[in-house]
Structure 1
Amino acid sequence: MDQRLSLVTLGVRDMNRARTFYESLGWKAWKESNEHICFFQTGGMVIGLYPLSNLLADQGRPEAAPNAGGITLGINVVAREDVDREMTQVLEKGATLLTPPADTPWGGRTAYFADLDGHPWEITWAPMFPLGANGALILP
């Protein structure tokens, strides 16, 4: 199996609200997106939005409660100050602050927020992991 993360699908309670949130961040939805599924190309991978009840049914767990804390989606940024700027932007769009931007013991800077459906995201500047010209995370 190739070592890659290609698609993260987020189960959302309100497709229109979720799509509007991500588009307000400047993300462009795939032209075939609709009220049932929405995809965003994000560098070398894709983020999908899908109704939570459908996602749970697809997983064979139609009665399961969502576990929004079971995954962290990461956004790496180019510069230290980008962590604060990006966090300010997502909070202005309706995200919930989980942890404020702070310097880390390993020399980076990080912060956490939850999107409109409670999915946790991390914004990180990690000087030891430079980003490629196309925004891809480059592991040394």
Structure 2
Amino acid sequence: MDPHISIVTLGVDDLATATSFYEDGLGLPRHDGDDDGDIVFFDLRGTWLALYLREELAADAGVEAAGEGFSGVTLAHNVDSEARVDEVLAAAERAGATVQKRAAATDWGGYSGYFADPDGHLWEVAYAPGFSPGP
């Protein structure tokens, strides 16, 4: 297996709201493609983020769509400074996210906080000195 993630797909309740949050609120670059209205893609330097209706995504995977609370998955966005962590969390909150954990120093020597998007997907925003994953 060639270890990389091509696409992360988030199941959402309202595609227009989720698209607006990521595109207008967070400024993610939307993929120039032939969106058919059922799915939206964003280019994220080496991978894509996709938004797809939760019910449809569950049906595609052959699982039940019902589920509440922590899913056991978080997404992480690493930045180059503590100040940038605070800026990204503030931008996410202005865009409609709920800040779940305000940024603070971590026990691993970094600085991070968490927000939940309008569908409850958790994102960690972190400054991790000496750690730079991805392209």
Please, what TM-score do these two structures have when normalized by structure 2?
Answer: 0.91
> Alignment partner of 2:119: what SS?
coil
Query: Partner of 2:14 in structure 1?
Result: 14
Aligned identity (percent) is 42
| Equivalent residue number for residue 66 of structure 1 | 67
Distance 2:46 2:124 in 1: 18
Structure 1 runs not aligned, ≥5 long: none
* Residue pair 1:18, 1:116 contacting (<8 A) in 2 also: yes
In the TM superposition, residue 66 of structure 1 has moved relative to its aligned partner by: 3.3
Show the counterpart of 1:26.
27
Using the alignment, how far apart are the partners of 1:19 and 1:2 within structure 2?
30
SS at match of 2:118: coil
Among candidates 100, 104, 107, match of residue 102 of structure 2:
100
Q: 2:55 aligns with which of 40, 47, 53?
A: 53
Q: Cα–Cα, structure 1 residues 70 and 34, in superposed 2: closer, same or farther, change >3 Å?
A: farther
Q: 1:87 maps to what in 2? A: 89
Q: Provide the C-alpha distance between the structure 1 equivalents of 2:109 and 2:42, rounded to a whole number of angstroms.
A: 31
Shift of 1:33: 2.5
Mapped partners of 1:114, 1:69: distance in 2 = 12
Mapped to 1, the partners of 2:71 and 2:100 lie a distance apart of: 11
Contact 1:7 1:46 in 2 (8 A): yes
Amino acid at match of 2:66: A
- Per the TM alignment, residue 64 of structure 1 is displaced from its structure 2 partner at its CA by 3.6
Aligned to 1:2: 2
Q: Residue 76 of structure 1 contacts residue 123 of structure 1 at CA under 8 Å; is this kept in 2?
A: yes
Q: For residue 44 of structure 1, give the secondary structure of its aligned residue in structure 2.
A: coil
> 5+ unaligned residues in a row in structure 2: which ranges?
none
Please, what TM-score do these two structures have when normalized by structure 1?
0.88
Q: 1:28: Cα distance to partner?
A: 2.0
Q: Any idea what the Cα deviations from partners look like across 1:90-112, whole Å, max 9, x if unmatched?
A: 00100011110000111100001
